């Protein structure tokens, strides 16, 4: 029979082993969250969805979930493009203006008899031209992209107002093409998922993605290591603009109208940057994820829709969104330092 004196050390050893195992599990979870920052925003999105579902049963109805998916479409596509630019250490503030310009390029192309699929291509290519100009001025003149794209925001907004006479135009609403490019239920969301998958693979599995991260982390060091900095940064500006134009086209076809949108072009940029930052992208460059940008857009959509159902004013929504950006930036900074410490410890 075991005496109490011998049981105590054994219990202590068991308790110590249990505590060590618990700490080990917590450490593994922490390490996973550091490696996969998008997992944190996924948890936030789930918690928000659960809260709004409990607060109002209408949140989980099929009709409302479709509304949430519609909120996601434009913001997610814009955020994917913005994320690529941000990771490379730049920013594109002209995104919102390009978003409203491209649909009018499509409209006028169709006015002269161009079929819808080709008109979509022309609209996206026209948007890409703005990306070329942004990249060329930023790189050749060595002017901060913040200033270049801010100026381009006003230039493109004015251009759109001129060609549209500041009046909305009717979007195409008949035919298979219109169904594919946003009119059919969830077709816009299908485009979003396809773009997210392609760009996620591009960022994580190609030299383009590796070079983008390297340039954002240390542009001088990347250039000295032979990274084609000019080509990669230019490519990111072009892709960002083309995605902005495509987002504007499918959103315009979905709602049945192309609007000049000069008054809210800046709002679109704000939403794309918000989704990217909330999703884990660092504004100083060198780190970010496409999946995180999509989840950031989803979180913004859930907040917007949940607040609308609860009758919360748009002013309060903006306060919450602004606070979310500040909190996300602080957490991103803390996580970045933690990743550096973790990598140093392993070395």
Confidence category of residue 313, pLDDT binned at 50, 70, 90? confident
Q: Tokens at residue 213, please?
A: 């991260």
pLDDT beyond 70 at 22:
no
Please state the rounded mean pLDDT for residues 159-173. 92
Q: Which pLDDT does position 310 carry in this prediction?
A: 84
Convert the pLDDT of each residue in 141-152 to its tens digit: 999 999 999 999
Instruction: Identify the residue with better confidence: 328 or 239.
Output: 239
Asked if 211 contacts 286 with a C-beta cutoff of 8 angstroms, the reply is: no
266 burial (CB, 10 Å; 0-12 / 13-18 / 19+) is middle
pLDDT beyond 60 at 280:
yes
Each domain of the chain, given as residue ranges in start order, spans: 38-346
pLDDT beyond 70 at 343:
no
Q: Which pLDDT does position 11 carry in this prediction?
A: 61
d(CA 330, CA 209): 25
How is residue 179 annotated by DSSP?
A: I
Residue 265's closest CA among 172, 135, 130?
A: 130
- pTM listed for this prediction: 0.86
Give 293's contacts (C-beta < 8 A, 6+ positions apart).
76, 79, 80, 82, 83, 196, 275, 276, 279, 281
HSE at residue 260, side-chain half, CA atoms within 13 A, is: 16
Q: Which CATH number fits domain 38-346: 3.30.390, 1.10.3470, 2.40.50, 1.10.287?
A: 1.10.3470
Q: Which pLDDT does position 94 carry in this prediction?
A: 95
């Amino acid at each position: 029979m075991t005496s109490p004196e011998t049981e105590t050390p054994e219990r202590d050893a068991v308790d110590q082993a249990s505590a060590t195992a618990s700490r080990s599990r917590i450490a593994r979870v922490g390490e996973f969250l550091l490696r996969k920052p998008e997992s944190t925003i996924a948890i936030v999105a789930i918690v928000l969805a659960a809260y709004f579902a409990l607060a109002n049963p209408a949140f989980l109805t099929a009709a409302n979930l479709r509304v949430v998916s519609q909120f996601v479409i434009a913001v997610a596509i814009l955020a994917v493009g913005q994320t690529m630019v941000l990771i490379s250490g730049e920013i594109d503030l002209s995104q919102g203006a390009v978003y409203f310009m491209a649909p009018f390029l499509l409209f006028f192309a169709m006015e002269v008899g161009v079929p819808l699929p080709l008109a979509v291509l022309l609209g996206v290519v026209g948007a890409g031209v703005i990306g070329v100009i942004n990249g060329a001025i930023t790189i050749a003149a060595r002017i901060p992209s913040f200033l270049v794209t801010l100026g381009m925001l006003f230039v493109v907004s004015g251009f759109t107002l001129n060609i549209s006479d500041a009046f909305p135009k009717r979007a195409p609403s008949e035919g298979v093409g219109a169904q594919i490019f946003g009119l059919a239920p969830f077709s816009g969301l299908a485009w979003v998922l396809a773009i997210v998958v392609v760009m996620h693979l591009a960022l994580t599995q190609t030299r383009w993605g590796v070079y983008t991260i390297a340039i954002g982390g240390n542009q001088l060091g990347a250039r000295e290591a032979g990274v084609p900095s000019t080509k990669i940064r230019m490519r990111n500006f072009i892709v960002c603009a083309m995605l902005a134009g495509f987002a504007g086209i499918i959103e315009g076809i979905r709602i049945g109208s192309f609007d000049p949108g000069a008054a809210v072009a800046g709002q679109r940029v704000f939403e794309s940057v918000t989704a990217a930052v909330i999703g884990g992208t660092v504004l100083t460059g060198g780190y970010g994820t496409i999946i995180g940008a999509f989840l950031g857009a989803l979180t913004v959509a859930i907040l917007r829709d949940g607040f609308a159902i609860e009758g919360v004013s748009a002013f309060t929504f903006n306060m919450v969104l602004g606070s979310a950006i500040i909190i996300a930036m602080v957490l991103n900074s803390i996580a970045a330092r933690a990743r550096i410490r973790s990598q140093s410890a392993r070395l």
